Chains A and B, each alone.
Chain A
């Protein structure tokens, strides 16, 4: 249905090819960025069998604890906050588990997520928590584990691979010990 090209309209000025290529590269790059962001947000928390990126927790006392220093031990990493009500359900039991396992090659780390220091310290005192705890500076550790909220607990096996994941609070000391034992023996 289109009219045949006449001589007058014949040769439209050719667009610079490099310009077109540049625009396409830009558009595709932008799409790739958006896609990578979407994939990351859809990934969910770090799963069993994955190996989280190494991190360093600086405790409220100013001691640096690197995850790579704990290879060879089972590591219980609990994300919590003082404003988080469900965190309080498991706080005392986690401390009991720590007392039970602290001399058996099991390390406990408390990562204080998006919290304020005075309230966090008050929380630790209230529940008598003695294992190392520190703020998640820059939310770097929670981003490494891609947590969605608190409380969440991740247990690394002696090889540094994620062995157990608990989203939400533990309901009993027994549940915590079962998770730790499973991580120690490499059971799913």
Chain B
């Protein structure tokens, strides 16, 4: 009984080991789908076709790049490793989102800084307008009695009519 149990356990461990190995081999050998390739490709731009993301670029150069992504994915490379490889090969300009280093940081700092500066200027302008309005009360709404005899006659006529 005891040896039978030991045999059963050994077979079980062996089968589990085989299954794990097969699973791992299958995972590495799987051909990546177009969606998986494009998920990375859309973050890259080929210098030949400026302003066209790699996932939709129709040129042969871009098709070759997508094949490279597919190959790297099938070899088990991560998204970051693939992006690093492309940067090493073709420079940081292939990235859709440039790294925040060198002059690139201006891209990240300037838009929010301009927005904040605009908001500040608008706030100040509104405040100064409000202060100016408070300091100079509005002109009386009721019109001053007219000295024009024609207007006076017209008003009298209207009053009589009314």
Contact = CB atoms under 8 A, between A and B. Distances in A.
Interface string A126-150: 0000000001011110010000010
Contacts of A81: 61
Nearest to A142: B47
Q: Chain B contact residues: over half helix, strand or loop, or mixed?
A: helix
Interface in B90-130: 90-91, 93, 103, 106, 110, 117
B135 to A, nearest CB: 6
Contacts of B90: 114, 138-139
Contacts of A140: 91
B111 to A, nearest CB: 12
A116 B60 CA distance: 11
Nearest to B68: A116
Nearest to B59: A83
Contact of B110 (A30, A114, A149): A30
A115 to B, nearest CB: 7
Contacts of B46: 114
A100 to B, nearest CB: 31
B93 A139 contact: yes
B88 interface: yes
Given A83-B60, A116-B65, A119-B64, A9 B132 contact: yes
B48 interface: yes
B65 A8 contact: no
Nearest to B113: A26
Interface residues of A, number: 19
A135 B68 CA distance: 15
A31 to B, nearest CB: 13
B3 interface: no
B91 A8 contact: no
A33 interface: yes
A137 B61 contact: no
B89 interface: yes
Contacts of B136: 8
A167 B117 CA distance: 47
A33 B109 CA distance: 15
Given A30-B110, A83-B64, A115-B61, A137 B89 contact: yes
Interface of B: 46-48, 59-61, 64-65, 67-68, 87-91, 93, 103, 106, 110, 117, 132, 135-136
Given A83-B59, A139-B91, 9 more contacts: A9-B135, A30-B110, A33-B103, A83-B64, A116-B67, A135-B89, A138-B87, A138-B89, A139-B90
